[in-house]
Structure 1
Amino acid sequence: MAFGGSYRINQSVLRDATRTLFWQIVGNSAAFASALTLAACVRLFGLNISVSVGAVACLIGFVVRAQFFGERNGSRPSPATSEPASRTSESDRFRSAFDFAAIGMALVSTEGRWLQVNRSLCHILGYTEKELLLTDFLSITHPDDLPTALSNIGQLLKAKVQVSQMEKRYIHKSGHEVWVHWSVSMVRDQYSKSVHLIFQIQDITDRKLAEQQLHHDAFHDALTGLPNRALFMDHLKLAIARSRRNTNSTFAVLYLDLDRFKIINDSLGHTIGDQLLVGIADRLKKNLRPGDTVARLGGDEFTILIEDIVEELEAIQVAERIQKELSVPFALSGREVFTTVSMGIAPSSTGYERAEDILRDADTAMYRAKTLGKARYEIFDKAMHARAINLLQMETDMRRALEREEFILHYQPIVSLENFRLRGFEALVRWQHPERGFISPMDFIPVAEETGMIIQLGEWVLREACSQMQRWQKIFPLDQPLSVAVNLSSKQFSQTTLINRVAMILQETGVNPHTVKLEITESVVMENIDTATDMLRQLRALGVKLAIDDFGTGYSSLSYLHRFPIDTLKIDRSFVTRMSENNENTEIVRTIVVLAQNLGMDVIAEGVETNEQLVLLQKLGCENGQGYFFSKPVNSDGAEKIIAETYGSLTSPLRQLNTQPGGKRVLVA
């Protein structure tokens, strides 16, 4: 039979019940043991008990089989002789049930002293029975839970409730916390009318620890143990709320992104990469003030919330301290690993209503730091936000531009400095916006790089240049075909599908692969030498030529250069522009020319703009050049005219070339 409400079980009812129903317990659960033990307390101490039986569980009837069958067999003793023996026997059975109950049980005074405790309770709390009886439950209750526990007992003693339950913590004898489900009922002695408490205590520590672990995992990064984005955003929202209530409560958000982490991860493996992230997390925690929050958003991105600052200088000092700390190499699996970090700082003085906005602005400042050379920090300002909005609009326009064919290719001639014959062209992308007019590549190429659109744009450039070259090859069937050079961005070069995409474009366009030259910047090649070498060899296997662009501006090692299957070195325009007789830049150019010749490579000087530069390059033995001195970049029609002027064609008229001082003929558009 099940009891859902509160019942008062008096002594006479209990006596009759226990004489007819007691000993067979259906099931072996904590609920049965609890019900049995409550009855035991009543029987042992002669108490009337008020309990919410439904809170204990379903109280299942219990049967005293021995007595029942004894009565059936006619062996029931006379009342005069059986009553004392029955009480003694029942007391023993109740004591046994109390002592061996599956959950902790105790009789407690209203002052909190333990009066009777069972074995399960001693096991749960780690004390012996004697030790518990010398103390009270207040002294081993967790301090944070004590006020609520006392309040609940107060409600019980005032008869406002018949049973009190809560989840609380005790302090185990060894010092650790023990979570329990705590149920308290009030009992009254039928003779002295004194009041006592019955505790039912079930150990739920394992469940609580599992819940705490789930909660921790939901708000923390599994690798580093740092707060994750969700927890960081909660802290940030609280900081914004405090700042609104108190204008003197200012804070700042730092957004961190590791420089070259992908290179480390790809070259040394994900295990080293993970170790590096853990090491960085440890250093960040050690270099923050108490109360500040550092979180890992994912990948190699971290954020820091610096609270209670007086001025922006404090946030800058933290950023500089972090820069210095992270510049120290990490010892990982027997090797030294170096990294730097780019940071964006967004101070709360700008005035924010939403956590998402300040995090966005810190991110924007971080990308600005990346653009300006990495390993630095930038502070967000209003102009930066306006620029971010402009970039967002440009990104949207760029996606439409590809669909609407607003991009076009211009071609800048590459000329032999020995005989001024046309050797080929470099394909350069241009954007003619229908509303904003001509947009400089200096403006839209960085946006394409940042948004990843450079992959689509770069593929379009390669396909268009190959198609154009294939048309020229049909119009101008030359013994020494011209070539077209196309730049590959760092994002394109890092794509695992690059080889297949290039092969597909070569096949689709039908261009002679030997007339296509792919240019890769020096820094991209040197980021991951082994991967770059493998990628370059696969590209060469397709039949295309390869060039290192902007040579001399990166950090290439001459010991590695001979390993790359490179056909051409392009001297960066910064060296050519500053050349003069016997100066440092001239010597750099001389060194590059000699190096290329020794390695069997061609050389192209970029940015040739004056006759003086041309003469110096010729003296240094530079073979080829390109620049405004020969021709500015021209559209496909202009390029076709230059080809016709150089080699002649039935479909393109010849034009007279300009003659420069010294009798040299130079191509013009």
Structure 2
Amino acid sequence: MAVVDTEGLVVSANDGLAALLGADAASLRHRAAADLVDLAADNRAWHAYREVLRGHRSRLRCTRRLKHPDGRSLWAEVTVAPVPRSRHLLLSVADVSDRRELQDRLRHLQMHDPVTRLPNRTLFFERLTSALENSSYDSYDAYGDGDGGTGRIGLCYLDLDGFKAVNDTLGHRIGDQLLAAVAARLSECAERDGYARGGGHLVARLGGDEFAILVEDSTGTEQLTDLAGAVLAAVQRPFDLAGQRLSVSASIGVVERPAAGTTVNGLMQAAETTQYWAKADGKARWTLFDPERNAHRMTRQALSSTLRPAVDRGEFTLEYQPLVGMADGTVSGVEALVRWNHPRFGSLAPNRFIGIAEEDGSIVQLGRWVLRTACRQAGRWRADHPDAPPLFVSVNVAVRQVWDSDLVADVAEILDETGLAPGLLQLELTESAVMGSAGRPLRALQALSEMGVRIAIDDFGTGYSNLAYLSRLPVSVLKLDGSFVRGFQDEAHPNPADEVIVEAMVDLAHRLGLTVTAECVETAGQADRLRRIGCDTGQGWWYSRAVAPERIAEMIRGGGRVA
């Protein structure tokens, strides 16, 4: 300890302080106390110390790292406080090196993975946060000449392919050895790249078989992709562990961008998403973050999260595309096509959300709404125009509607509710769904057919094409996939093979007692050729786009012809 006057000079010091500083107690008198414990090196501590000297602050306590004359360093806890009933202050300095060393050891254990000895998730995020916070300062040195760093940041986010199989077959002990061996190779790659480019990289184990390599002051995308390629090659070399030769691969998501404006969550989300793409694209590869692909994913995610309540909010509408008899040009039916009037993305066609609905199961709720709305509309046309030939309505049905709901009961209930005759309803299922039908789907199709509902195979010619099923299924209509019709577009130089294939399919359907609808008819030439081949019904922009129900009513009043 030492007694200090209001000018900050030592009045007297005891032998303990002298021994701590490696000096003689008498030699410390009249020296600036702040110099003895290096308080001026820290602006905050220096300001607080001056406040205590002036009597504006009651106490200062801080930790300083001091240099002993013999060359060793020590950590000291410094306290400065007024002496009661005196104008002097008491400076107290305690050697806390042992305590600090224990804290450092505990922190190291807390911040490092025990299996691989790498920094763990906590330390990784601490370092990443610090790197992003300091990026705006690191890009320029004190003189503003831009030599402090690149101001960019990169991340390789890695997940081992097939690691679970190693744990399951060889046990967790071998699995841990494999993780440690992988960690060593990652560290070698990072050290080699960091040495070559003059920067340090942090390699961390984030958990399980997930690792990350953080590249501060990256030089651009090429650096990160080169590093990812080196990591990929290193991981794919066989590992010899406990008499076992193991081979694994990795999927790596690569992100490189300016650090300014980048957040921890944003960077990690991009890296995790890109690593998922690498897995989905076939594994054993690195994939670079693609903003457009991510925007599509974000849009898809936004649609997925709002799809179910959108039905209740009434955001869906139906449009109807005429199905025109090729022999006389009259409208015999319409296909109901659903549109989503999304409050953020505007009007969305079915290809934007039907796949999502099938994945998350909301297709059952949506499909039931489409079926009910279409049948109700068809019943309204019939009631409003009793003297006109009735139009049937065709509704698409997803396979999941057959498996996850009682489609037969739903159809029966809706037909009874709307008063629509079963013969005026046609259900469309894709070829891939129908051709392999067995069990519940087949029983549902048979029950619907016995009810009087027509069954159509949509996109015929592109799926399994198991023709043996055609004679056994209760199907009444084949809808030729639009790819066959598009083959007729070059009217000046037609491809004879296209016509032969379509003619064969039409002839087969007719011999089985089925009618044929050609989709995607866009020109008069296509319509003429399809009519000569024998197609019964045409559908496409040549006749009409999908239109509102009122437009269909006008066609009915006009004698069933499109304008």
Q: TM-score range by the shorter chain?
A: 0.5 to 0.7
Q: Deviations over 1:639-669 (max 9, x none)?
A: 111111125xxxxxxxxx6xxxxxxxxx22x
Hey, what does 1:514 align to over in structure 2? 423
Hey, what does 2:505 align to over in structure 1? 592
8 Å contact from structure 2 (residues 253, 276) kept in 1: no
Hey, what does 2:487 align to over in structure 1? 578
8 Å contact from structure 1 (residues 492, 498) kept in 2: yes
Hey, what does 2:334 align to over in structure 1? 425
SS of equivalent residue, structure 2 residue 541: coil
Which amino acid letter does the alignment assign opposite residue 588 of structure 1?
A: I
Q: How many residues align?
A: 365
Which amino acid letter does the alignment assign opposite residue 638 of structure 1?
A: R
SS of equivalent residue, structure 1 residue 486: strand
Hey, what does 1:5 align to over in structure 2? none
Structure 1: distance between partners of 2:255 and 2:469: 48
Which amino acid letter does the alignment assign opposite residue 476 of structure 1?
A: H
Task: Map 1:196-235; keep pairs closer than 5 Å.
Answer: none
Hey, what does 1:361 align to over in structure 2? 273
TM-score (norm 2): 0.54
Structure 2: distance between partners of 1:244 and 1:408: 50
* RMSD after superposition: 4.7
The alignment status of 1:312 with 2:228, answered yes or no, reads yes
Which amino acid letter does the alignment assign opposite residue 617 of structure 1?
A: L
8 Å contact from structure 2 (residues 156, 253) kept in 1: no
Q: Deviations over 1:42-86 (max 9, x none)?
A: xxxxxxxxxxxxxxxxxxxxxxxxxxxxxxxxxxxxxxxxxxxxx
Hey, what does 1:252 align to over in structure 2? 158
8 Å contact from structure 1 (residues 293, 305) kept in 2: no
Structure 2: distance between partners of 1:518 and 1:538: 13
Hey, what does 1:272 align to over in structure 2? none
SS of equivalent residue, structure 1 residue 494: helix
Task: Map 1:121-520; keep pairs closer than 5 Å.
Answer: 238=120, 241=123, 250-253=156-159, 290-291=178-179, 305=210, 311-313=227-229, 346-347=253-254, 357=269, 361=273, 365=277, 381-434=290-343, 436-477=345-386, 481-520=390-429
8 Å contact from structure 2 (residues 340, 347) kept in 1: yes
**CA apart distance, 1:468:** 0.6
1:278–1:414: structure 2 CA closer, same or farther, 3 Å change rule? farther
SS of equivalent residue, structure 2 residue 559: helix
SS of equivalent residue, structure 2 residue 457: strand
Structure 2 stretches lacking a partner, 5+ long: 1-112, 129-152, 183-207, 214-224, 238-249
Structure 1 stretches lacking a partner, 5+ long: 1-230, 257-276, 295-302, 322-342, 648-656, 658-666
The alignment status of 1:557 with 2:473, answered yes or no, reads no
Q: Deviations over 1:395-420 (max 9, x none)?
A: 44544532332321111110111111
**CA apart distance, 1:608:** 0.7
Q: Deviations over 1:465-492 (max 9, x none)?
A: 0101111222233686321000112332
SS of equivalent residue, structure 2 residue 458: strand
Structure 1: distance between partners of 2:251 and 2:378: 45
SS of equivalent residue, structure 1 residue 548: strand
The alignment status of 1:640 with 2:547, answered yes or no, reads no
Structure 1: distance between partners of 2:459 and 2:546: 18
SS of equivalent residue, structure 2 residue 318: strand
1:570–1:288: structure 2 CA closer, same or farther, 3 Å change rule? farther
Structure 2: distance between partners of 1:615 and 1:396: 46
1:436–1:543: structure 2 CA closer, same or farther, 3 Å change rule? same
8 Å contact from structure 2 (residues 179, 209) kept in 1: no
Which amino acid letter does the alignment assign opposite residue 497 of structure 1?
A: D
Structure 2: distance between partners of 1:245 and 1:416: 70
Structure 1: distance between partners of 2:509 and 2:286: 38
Structure 1: distance between partners of 2:167 and 2:425: 44
Q: Which has the higher contact order (CA 8 A, sep 6+)?
A: 2
**CA apart distance, 1:614:** 0.9
**CA apart distance, 1:358:** 7.2
**CA apart distance, 1:384:** 3.4
Which amino acid letter does the alignment assign opposite residue 354 of structure 2?
A: I
Structure 1: distance between partners of 2:234 and 2:414: 50
Which amino acid letter does the alignment assign opposite residue 312 of structure 1?
A: A
SS of equivalent residue, structure 2 residue 396: strand
Which amino acid letter does the alignment assign opposite residue 534 of structure 1?
A: R
**CA apart distance, 1:369:** 5.6
SS of equivalent residue, structure 2 residue 404: coil
8 Å contact from structure 1 (residues 253, 347) kept in 2: no
**CA apart distance, 1:378:** 6.9
SS of equivalent residue, structure 2 residue 427: strand
**CA apart distance, 1:432:** 2.9
615-624 or 531-540: bigger deviation: 531-540
Q: Deviations over 1:185-237 (max 9, x none)?
A: xxxxxxxxxxxxxxxxxxxxxxxxxxxxxxxxxxxxxxxxxxxxxx9xx9999
1:450–1:292: structure 2 CA closer, same or farther, 3 Å change rule? farther
Q: Deviations over 1:244-270 (max 9, x none)?
A: 7699995413799xxxxxxxxxxxxxx
1:319–1:549: structure 2 CA closer, same or farther, 3 Å change rule? farther
**CA apart distance, 1:315:** 7.9
Q: Deviations over 1:143-186 (max 9, x none)?
A: xxxxxxxxxxxxxxxxxxxxxxxxxxxxxxxxxxxxxxxxxxxx
TM-score (norm 1): 0.46
8 Å contact from structure 2 (residues 157, 252) kept in 1: no
Hey, what does 1:605 align to over in structure 2? 518
**CA apart distance, 1:434:** 4.7
Which amino acid letter does the alignment assign opposite residue 616 of structure 1?
A: R
1:487–1:313: structure 2 CA closer, same or farther, 3 Å change rule? farther
SS of equivalent residue, structure 2 residue 452: coil
1:510–1:320: structure 2 CA closer, same or farther, 3 Å change rule? farther
**CA apart distance, 1:550:** 0.7
Structure 2: distance between partners of 1:235 and 1:499: 61
Highest CA radius of gyration, 1 or 2? 1
Hey, what does 1:206 align to over in structure 2? none
8 Å contact from structure 1 (residues 430, 439) kept in 2: yes
**CA apart distance, 1:544:** 1.3
**CA apart distance, 1:613:** 0.4
**CA apart distance, 1:586:** 2.0
Structure 2: distance between partners of 1:597 and 1:245: 71
8 Å contact from structure 1 (residues 292, 305) kept in 2: no
SS of equivalent residue, structure 1 residue 570: strand
1:236–1:451: structure 2 CA closer, same or farther, 3 Å change rule? farther
Structure 2: distance between partners of 1:528 and 1:279: 38
8 Å contact from structure 1 (residues 426, 486) kept in 2: yes
Structure 1: distance between partners of 2:417 and 2:235: 51
Structure 2: distance between partners of 1:598 and 1:255: 52
8 Å contact from structure 1 (residues 429, 461) kept in 2: yes
1:306–1:403: structure 2 CA closer, same or farther, 3 Å change rule? same
Hey, what does 1:618 align to over in structure 2? 531
8 Å contact from structure 1 (residues 252, 315) kept in 2: no
**CA apart distance, 1:638:** 0.3
Structure 2: distance between partners of 1:506 and 1:513: 7
8 Å contact from structure 2 (residues 155, 271) kept in 1: no
